[in-house]
Structure 1
Amino acid sequence: MRLFPRFAATLSGFALALSAHAAGARCTAISGDCTPRIGIVSAFGAEADILVAETRQRRSHTIHGKRFTTGVLRGNPVVIVLSGVSIVNATMVTQQMLDHFRVERLVMSGIAGGVNPENHVGDVTVPDRWAMPMEVFWNADSKLPAPCGKPQDMSCLGLKLATGPDGQPLPPFVLPTPGGPVDTGLFMRETYVLSTANAPAGGFRFDFPVDARMLEVARSLQPKLERCGPRAKRPDGSLDETMCVKRQPRLLVGGRGVSAPVFLANAAYRSYLHEVLQAQTFEMETAALAHVAHANGVPYIAFRSLSDLAGAEGFDADVGALFASGLAEFNEAAVTLAFLEAWRASRPAPRAAKR
């Protein structure tokens, strides 16, 4: 009789595995969860807390120290996790989520630095593609590198330079200084990706486009974005204007987002990214999630609230207000929640069962 509980548990696990295999599910005995879900990876803890608090039927799963929260958010089955800052953390936690849960779509959200000077603190961006511009070939100067004999040829190294629409390599970063321009020799590369679709050879990509259908839903959103965060209200109900950003935040859809394993505080490099790539926002996670999503064949989209102009000099009162008032996480969560509501509404109604 003592063996029966163990036998029952084993039988239950076996049945779960068979069910998951039959459904083509990505799930394991660690989570024991095979429900089709939207995976939400948040890079900002305060925003992740809002999303978790809004989730119903919450259940927590700890996998290698990371807390994954499953439940229903705005009518969608979801699994939510905080990635932590950096390309490496975002890569690791996204693959863990895909390995242990049945994730059918991915959403990334968090805070980012602005690249386009026309955008402002508090705006929420939804780029239509993401790239990693600091995947580079670091040459001695700005001459086109020729490590394999011919200019631009890197096949002997298993590398490929990033090119523009004309097929020519993208120009390297040149650092402007009071004494004149200085060559850095930093040439952008494409990223090698291996997936089921392109195995065994793999292939190279510079951009990872977001899912067209998810982007279409994002373009339809009209979220209520605030200028003042929830902590801007005084006890008497009046607003502390020092805790508000000067301009009304906007939802900006389209353009390129870029990620790198650096905190960008260099105005010259930010200008280079905007000029050469027409980049809108810069941060340290989303392009890694995009790479993992592409390799696993999972559609994705990302929302990023702008915290500052990357590399801007001097104090910006809007930056202080954004974080001190709680506006950063409030507006970011508002867009994510609005997207989930619109996504649920866009899903086709289930067909009636045939008699």
Structure 2
Amino acid sequence: MEMIKKIFNKSSLLVPLVSILLGLLVGALAMLAGGYDPLLAYGSLFKRVFGSSYHMGETIRAITPLIFTGLAVAFAFRTGLFNIGVEGQFIMGMTGATLIGVLLDLPWYLHGPLAILTGALFGGLWAGLVGYLKAKRGVNEVISSIMLNWTALYLANYIVTKFLLEPGQQKSRNVHESALMSIDWLVQLMDKARMHWGTFVALACVLVFYILLWRTKQGYELRAVGHNPDAALYAGMNVNRTIVKSMFISGVFAGLGGVFEILGVFGNQTVLAASVGYGFDGIAVALLGGNTPIGVLLGAVLFGGLSYGSNGMSFGAGVPSEIVRIVIGSVIFFVAAHGIVKFILKPLKLKRSDKSKEAA
């Protein structure tokens, strides 16, 4: 409860909210400079996101993987690690789920859970490798994790082309229906938007994140090692094991995001020409959310809404989708440079303090 109160108090909310408004303002200025109408563009964006049950469902679908990747980045941050390899762990989660979904044919009550577990394990082990290299060999996790992003991309493509390829196409064979995680009644309710169980799992992971880090002994050890490894070692904690464990858990979150993209959205895995991008967006989501679980959820809602609504800006106002990236980049800038936002808010705080003194 303390964490939730901290997130929703005025001082914690004001800086990100002002940062978002400033980001939207910078985006509007960029549109004006390009000869576009910002009011029409933002109106088209909101219409795209909220205009119909289908678009609302697709927006939720776009938000879901960002929750997973944001949690993955934030969890590592909270334990003193910078997991920039979420992109690769996401891809490995996709690959693990595809392997089980395509090669095995099991009853639905075994097939789906096994595919989810395998994908999560693939993501966790891929991140655990980064933790092992740091703990045992002293390799900086930023360097190893970003290199493993490319390794994951090419390894996934090799697995798909060697063992799973649909003849004549650049994608895997379709996952068996018994492993799919779409929710039929919700798909129909949202006018055939691609709704799946991953959204509910993502919300559960937000709760797991909070409970694990702030309500368990293991979470205390993870945070203690992140704050001060030397003090944690002196207190009798196994620092190396904790580093590996932290990266593994972070990778599980990322892997789950990849799992549900396969089992809930596409039903197959394509031969990727480039990274999918969710892992890198997860860094921005975690930053915007202050590396807190509720903050990540809210950040994912913002980023997912902007990303999906960008098509509305393109069709409704003729604005290039790259403008949305300017908005997102501006929001990240103002959140990261929170000193600028606090400087802007300082006159307002001084006026309030003067009024309170006059009232007294």
The structure whose RCO (Cα within 8 Å, separation 6+) is larger is 2
| More strand, by proportion | 1
For the aligned pair, the TM-score class normalised by the smaller chain equals under 0.3
| More helix, by proportion | 2
- TM-score calculated relative to the size of structure 1: 0.25
- TM-score calculated relative to the size of structure 2: 0.25
Larger radius of gyration: 1
